Amino acid sequence: MDINLFNFITAIFVGGAAGYLGSLMITKRMALVGDALGHVALPGMGLALLLGFNVSLGAFVFLLLGVFSVWFLERKSDLPTETLVGVIFVLSLALGFLITPEPELLHALVGDISRVSLLDAVVSVILSVSVLFVVNKIYKKIILASLSEDLAISNKIDIKKNNLIYLLVIAVIVALGVKVVGSLLIGALVIVPAAASRNISRNMRQYVLRAIFLGSLSCVLGIGLFMITGFPVGPLIILTSVFFFIISLIFKK
């Protein structure tokens, strides 16, 4: 497997955007949502690999389906959202295992950045920058709503609208990220750099910038380790980010 410059660029941008979004997800106590959605993406990735179209596109279509199903079931049942997400998540996982051709299964689960084409890279960079931009737009509003929903509403913030945008952005990042670290590990790429950043940050500015930086750095170093060792890229990226997390515990503020 060959790694070239646009693999690096893709990983830097997707990793940074994932870190940024992750910082918001931790504040909203939705750390495991990325994990669950990563699995929801699997059947879409399987179909894409089977029929030969873009993996991220397949993932995104199934993510939208998954988010819609949860929203629909919430209206049809009294069960907690978390439980419904659990049902959709195992359904997707089971379907994903059946659909995905066996030789491709490992690639779907742990990602393979060397398969990213030039076009993929361009699209990934554009979408990642869009995610950074959109998250920046909704960040303060969502933080305020997490401090006090009432205060947010009395300041004319439309919480439902912002939450919908937020969920769509998560879907985009998961769809992009499954190419880099795979469906099993995307949850980690979203959460671990942000968690490390939170350990060492005293204010929002530090928290956000360090989450982005650690997300990108983990991806770059992970690819570097792959070039040296030849082990799969996805796990190496996540191990790098967990390494930063452990370091951050030592410097915890």
Partner 1 sequence: MSDIILEVKNLSVRFDGNKVIDDLSFDLREKDNLVILGPNGAGKTVLLKTLLGIFPFQGNIRWRENIKIGYVPQKFLADKNIPLNIEEFFKFKKINSEEIAAVLKSVGIKDKTIFSKRIGALSSGQLQRILIAWALIDNPDILLFDEPTAGIDIEGEETIYNLLSQIEKERDLTIILITHDLSVVYKFADSVLCLNKKAVCQGPPQEVLKLENLNQLYGGEIKFYQHGH
Which residues lie near partner 1 (CB under 8 A)?
27, 29, 140, 143-144, 146-148, 150-151, 153-154, 198, 201-207
Cα–Cα distance measured from residue 91 to residue 251, given in angstroms and rounded to the nearest whole number:
41
CA angle centred on 183, ends 187 and 44, rounded to 5°: 130
- For the bound state, the minimum distance from the C-beta of residue 154 to partner 1, rounded and expressed in Å, comes to 4
What burial class does residue 73 get, using C-beta atoms within 10 Å of its C-beta: 0-12 exposed, 13-18 middle, 19+ buried? middle
- For the bound state, the minimum distance from the C-beta of residue 203 to partner 1, rounded and expressed in Å, comes to 4
Please give the single-letter amino acid code of residue 199: N
Cα–Cα distance measured from residue 165 to residue 212, given in angstroms and rounded to the nearest whole number:
20
- For the bound state, the minimum distance from the C-beta of residue 110 to partner 1, rounded and expressed in Å, comes to 31
Query: Which residue lies nearer to partner 1 by CB, 33 or 93?
Result: 33
Place of tokens 């659990």: 86
Query: Which residue lies nearer to partner 1 by CB, 204 or 246?
Result: 204
- For the bound state, the minimum distance from the C-beta of residue 87 to partner 1, rounded and expressed in Å, comes to 26
Cβ neighbours of residue 70 closer than 8 Å, sequence gap 6 or more: 81, 84, 85, 88
CB 240 within 8 A of CB 229: no
Query: Which residue lies nearer to partner 1 by CB, 145 or 184?
Result: 145
Query: Which residue lies nearer to partner 1 by CB, 91 or 165?
Result: 165
Query: Which residue lies nearer to partner 1 by CB, 18 or 194?
Result: 194
- For the bound state, the minimum distance from the C-beta of residue 50 to partner 1, rounded and expressed in Å, comes to 43
